[in-house]
Amino acid sequence: MGPLAFVMTIMGCADGGSVCIPARTVPTTYVSREACAAAQVQMLAANGDLEFPVIQAECRAVAPHVASRKTGGER
Q: What is the dihedral of CA 35, 67, 17, 12, to 10 degrees?
A: 120
For the stretch 14-38, pLDDT in tens is 987 689 999 999 999 999 999 999 9
- pLDDT for 2 equals 60
C-alpha 66 chain-centroid distance: 14
For the stretch 36-71, pLDDT in tens is 999 999 999 999 999 999 999 999 999 866 555 554
| pLDDT higher than 90, residue 72 | no
- pLDDT for 73 equals 40
Supply the DSSP string of 28-72, one letter for each residue.
Answer: EEESSHHHHHHTHHHHHHHTTTS-SSEEEEEEEEE-HHHHHHHTT
| pLDDT higher than 60, residue 75 | no
